[in-house]
Chains A and B, each alone.
Chain A
Amino acid sequence: MKVSLFITCLADQLYPEVGESVVRLLHDYGCEVDFPQAQLCCGQPAFNSGYQDEAREVARGLIRAFEHSDYVVSPSGSCTGMVHHYYPYLFENEPEWKAKAEALVGKMYEFSQFLVGVLGVTDVGASFPHKVTYHPSCHAMRLLGVREEPQQLIGAVKNIEFTDLPRKEDCCGFGGTFAVKMADMSEAMVCEKAACVCETGAEVLVGTDMGCLMNIGGRLNKEGKPVRVMHLAQLLEEGRRA
């Protein structure tokens, strides 16, 4: 099975280890993974700020980059959600591009969605002897409908001490440009989220979106809290090597 990785700009630049974990895992499950170098960004920062023309041009680049891929897998529910939920709308007045956008939607998956839904894997044979809590990302849940998959994957990990996050479905306050533009609102939200994480006593906070994890992790760091934030792919892949 040929799979293209859509790394997302954030993970590419700030969290390269997330992409490495995704690739190693997919490789182990028989996927031939490639990485189209032309990919850059899905356009979400511009789209969510109201700059739809700019987002559309950036989206064209992403569509072109994956035109010849069979499957596209991304370690972000937010960027995948952007493609699924808004790309057809972005190109509604350009039939040719709309068809291309829909073709991308049809083959693009968030990482846990692909692992569980396409590969049919829920137990990757990982062991992770730590206390872990999980923050479900808004866009994975609400734009993509990814709810069970990450929980199933975490649930199958051996020796893990899993603890449920209070108020888990509340947004962490990242929201892309929202975090900077409405800094005070965002701060109130991330403080509450960080407090919920600390309340669990977890050593590790796992998630499926580096935007949220950068936000919550950044707050935990500022508070000097010894909680490690990890993408689900990192946890599973580290756990397989354990």
Chain B
Amino acid sequence: MGDGGQKVLEPKKAHSTGDTGSGHTGHEPETSPIGSGLKKRTKEALKDDFLRKAVAFTTDKLRGGRLKAADEFGDWETWRERGRAIRQHTISHLDYYLGQFADNVVKNGGNVHFCHNGDDAVSTFMDIAGRHRAKLVAKGKSMVSEEIHLNHHLEEQGIDAIETDLGEYILQLARETPSHLIIPAIHKNKRQIADLFEADAGRPFEPDTKTLANYAKQKLRNYFLEADIGLTGCNFGVAESGSITLVSNEGNGRMVSTLPKVHVVIMGMERLVPTFEDLEVVLNLLARSATGQKLTTYTSILTGAKRPEDLDGPEELHVIILDNGRSEQLGDPIFQDVLNCIRCAACLNVCPVYRNVGGHTYGSVYSGPIGAVLTPLLQQDMKEAGTLAYASSLCGACYEACPVKIPLHDMLVHLRHRKVKMKLTALPERIAFKVYQTMFGSVTLFKLATKSAYYLQKPLARNGFIKSGPPPLSGWTQSRFMPMLPKQSFRDKWAALQAELAAKPRNGAPAVGGDAKAKGGGGHDAE
């Protein structure tokens, strides 16, 4: 564990907007409630063969790419450990690094805005837009802007926001939200995209990648030139220089951050690394884990606004640093490490739940295993969002894939525990686990219960199986048979087995035991 964080103090030189006090934007897009709608959304996603094929196809490709890239890199576990150490150190001293980062942004002619929540961040952006009488905002890919539903607010204010990342642009035409951290339109296939472009252009399109990409390029080029404001996210802020690092494969990040007169960066407060040396490590981990590339096609490192001697660049730079529930995790012995995330989506790409149901099923901006952990924590809502913690079989594939070793599988269990502690689980379930504790606390009771079960199962038996049963058993039998309890359990058979072995010569040469204790039963240490 880290040495605990401090609540972040606002560095003196940074100016910040006031705190409006409310935790969230209050402008959720119209979806079913995160928790109570989960099962309904799951059913819908599972019926959508197009979605499942598209998601499975792309995640498989990304997953294979990651394994190959990690293998080629060599010594992957050492790199993972370095990545973990860098992120953990940064988060443990986040107040210091935020201060350093903000000072350096200001030194280089930029402005820093610390925003407590989504409302703060939106109004900060609107102030900037208002001062420049902005009509058109060209956006690079930014999950944080999705988190605060910025587009929705811009639309309300009559400001055009154009997504310039191809995936995001497709979703904007479809009026949908991203369903993956790095491939926002992962759930769409080429035919569906061609249909969207046909509707947009009023002419037919072949569902071919090049044709579709070319159309989007032509459309977007003008926006880069016309936009009053370029908005981007930030993959990593470098504290020692105040630089903003953007990685992309389409090059739109460079256009958006250099062509418009005003560049606004919006980033989560945890998105920092101390030095360029650290940046080298995390960029390697990010690209390899995300897409299997050594590095993304474009890596832009932007420091400050345009200086008089510079040929290009924005005349004005604003960096909006968002808390929105992040600082609540600082100092938490279990959940602080969630802030180590570098948003590579490797956990989504290996998650068998995500693979089957896609990102929208999670009902929030962040999906997959990281979303299931992050959403309830950021929203500080265990009742609804906390239900996402159950959208996992706890297989641990996410931890194994995570380039900074976030123990997501442990966090999911601890979130469930938090829900139990807050008495937010159903009463029948609470009673069931009390009964479980009692029954498994006494051999006598256990035997009595299992013997009763042996007789109780008889009416349900069909040809040696239980093929359907009342709830909660029906959850099992809807898709598989249940074996019958045999007449004798192992414990019933033990005496006879002992007698059999006592009379039986050993029929294999006793092996020489290895150094048993040294191996100590292995297992990774996710603490």
Q: Which residues of A contact B (CB under 8 A)?
A: 1, 7, 9, 11-16, 18-20, 23-24, 27-30, 33, 35, 37-38, 40-41, 43, 45-52, 54, 57-58, 61, 71, 80-81, 84-85, 89, 105-110, 113, 117-121, 124-125, 138-139, 141-146, 169-171, 173-176, 178-192, 214-215, 217-219, 221-222, 240
Extra A-B contacts (14), CB below 8 Å, given A7-B490, A23-B497, A183-B479: A23-B501, A28-B506, A38-B443, A50-B413, A58-B440, A138-B394, A142-B400, A182-B390, A186-B393, A188-B46, A188-B356, A189-B356, A191-B479, A222-B481
Known A14-B483, A169-B397; contact A50-B440, beta-carbon cutoff 8 A? no
Tell me the minimal C-beta distance from A19 to chain B in angstroms. Answer: 4
Partner of A29, one of B39, B415, B511: B511
> Which residues does chain B contribute within 8 Å of A106, judged by CB atoms?
517, 520-521
Q: A14-B485, A27-B506, A219-B479 are in contact. Are A117 and B433 (CB under 8 A)?
A: no
A-B pairs, top 3 by smallest CB distance, nearest first, are A175-B393, A30-B510, A50-B416
With A20-B497, A113-B522, A184-B43 known to touch, is A12 a contact of B489 (CB < 8 Å)?
Answer: yes
Tell me the total A-B contact number using a CB cutoff of 8 A.
Answer: 249
Given the complex, which residues of A lie within 8 Å of B486, measured CB to CB? 14, 16
Contact partner of A222 among B353, B467, B504, CB < 8 A? Answer: B467
With both beta carbons as reference points, the residue of chain B lying nearest to A80 in the complex is identified as B521
Mostly, the A contact residues are: helix
- A46 pairs with B443, CB closer than 8 A: no
Categorize the interface residue count of chain B. 35 or more
Residues of A within 8 A of B493 (CB): 16, 19-20
Is the CB–CB distance between B475 and A183 below 8 Å? Answer: yes
Is A121 in contact with B511, judged by CB distance below 8 angstroms?
yes
Nearest-CB residue, chain B, relative to A137: B395
Contacts A48-B416, A181-B390, A188-B356 given; does A221 touch B465 at CB 8 Å: yes
With both beta carbons as reference points, the residue of chain A lying nearest to B333 in the complex is identified as: A92
Residues of B within 8 A of A43 (CB): 440
Residues in chain B within 8 A of chain A (CB atoms): 39, 42-43, 46, 352-353, 356-357, 389-397, 399-400, 409, 413, 415-420, 425, 429, 433-434, 436-437, 440-441, 443, 446, 450, 465, 467, 472-476, 478-483, 485-486, 488-494, 497, 501, 504, 506-508, 510-514, 516-517, 519-524, 526-527
A117–B514 CB distance below 8 A: yes
State the CA gap A12–B420 with chains docked (Å).
Answer: 29
User: Which residues of B have CB within 8 Å of A119?
Assistant: 511, 513-514
When C-beta atoms are compared, the residue in chain B nearest to A119 turns out to be: B511
The listed residue with most B CB atoms (<10 A of its CB), out of A89, A117, A124, A214, is A117
Q: Once the chains bind, are B352 and A173 in contact (CB under 8 Å)?
A: yes
Q: Are A46 and B436 in contact (CB under 8 A)?
A: yes
Is A40 touching B443 in the complex (CB atoms < 8 A)?
yes
12 A-B pairs whose Cβ atoms sit less than 8 Å apart in the complex: A29-B510, A50-B413, A50-B415, A50-B425, A85-B523, A117-B522, A119-B514, A173-B352, A182-B390, A185-B393, A186-B475, A222-B480
**Selected contact of B429 from candidates A41, A49, A81, CB within 8 Å:** A49
A108 to B, closest residue via Cβ? B521
Q: How far is the CA of A16 from the CA of B42 in the complex (A)?
A: 36
Please name the residue on chain A nearest to B43 by beta carbon.
A184
Given contacts A113-B521, A118-B519, A179-B475, contact A185 B391 (CB under 8 A): yes
In this complex, the member of A80, A170, A240 whose beta carbon has the largest number of chain B beta carbons within 10 angstroms is A170
Is A29's CB under 8 angstroms from B508's CB?
Answer: yes
Residue of B nearest to A146 (CB): B522
Which residues of chain A come closer than 8 Å to B396, judged between CB atoms? Answer: 138-139, 141-143
Residues of B within 8 A of A81 (CB): 523
**Shortest CB distance A26–B (Å):** 10
Closest to B464 in A: A221
Residues A179 and B416 in contact, CB atoms below 8 Å apart: no
What residues of B have a CB within 8 angstroms of the CB of A11 in the complex? 490
Nearest CB in chain A: distance from B482 CB, A:
6
B522: nearest chain-A partner, CB-CB: A145
Given A12-B489, A23-B497, A81-B523, residue A178 in contact with residue B393 (CB < 8 A): yes
What residues of B have a CB within 8 angstroms of the CB of A108 in the complex? 521
Q: A187 vs B473: C-alpha distance in the bound complex, in angstroms? A: 14
A199 to chain B, nearest CB (A): 15
Q: How far is the CA of A33 from the CA of B508 in the complex (A)?
A: 15
Indicate if the CB atoms of B522 and A144 lie closer than 8 Å: yes
Pair B397/A117 contact, Cβ less than 8 Å: no
Task: Among B394, B425, B488, B512, point to the contact of A48 (Cβ < 8 A).
Answer: B394
Contacts of A120 in B (CB 8 A): 511-514
Question: Contacts A16-B490, A37-B443, A138-B395: A143 and B483 contacting too (C-beta < 8 A)?
Answer: no
User: In this complex, what residue of A is CB-closest to B419?
Assistant: A50
A183 touches B476 (CB 8 A): yes
- Contact call A188/B357, Cβ cutoff below 8 A: yes
Question: Which chain A residues lie closer than 8 Å to B482 at the CB level?
Answer: 218
In angstroms, how far is the closest chain B Cβ from the Cβ of A93? 12
Out of B440, B472, B501, B521, name the residue touching A105 (CB < 8 Å).
Answer: B521
